[in-house]
Amino acid sequence: MDMVLAVLSWSCLLGGAIFLLIGALGVLRFPDFYTRLHAVSVCDTLGAGLVLAGLMLQGGFSLVTVKLLLMFYFMMFTGPTAVHALAQAAMQGKLQAVVDEHEPE
């Protein structure tokens, strides 16, 4: 049982880490603001979510898990709100998206 839990939690943690990495890569490599927001959202949701889940599995049924749940709950609120606010601010600031019409050869 312990073994199963350990494997599960570690795969969650690892998965979360991979998503975070992907998100970070995206922020670096994507061409403009709006596409980068996409990449960021991955970090917030899947990345952080999986990490928290992995930690909950490690913690078992205790006060720690409750706290982690609360954290997850808050992140679900703040992440999207922040991204939304950013996007709207960018729109208002008349930030243009980069639309690349020419396919690279």
The residue written with tokens 């690892």 in the block is: 14
When the beta carbons of 60 and 93 are compared against other proteins, the nearer one is 93
Backbone angles phi, psi at 55, to 5 degrees: -65, -40
Q: Total residues at the site for other proteins (CB under 8 A)?
A: 8
Instruction: Among 18, 64, 85, 95, indicate the residue that binds other proteins (CB under 8 A).
Output: 85
Residue 81 burial (CB count, 10 A) = 10
Residue 97 region by backbone torsions, left for phi larger than 0, else alpha for psi between -120 and 50, else beta:
beta
When the beta carbons of 24 and 100 are compared against other proteins, the nearer one is 24
Asked if residue 67 binds other proteins (CB under 8 A), the reply is no
* Interface positions with other proteins (CB under 8 A): 77-78, 81, 84-85, 88-89, 92
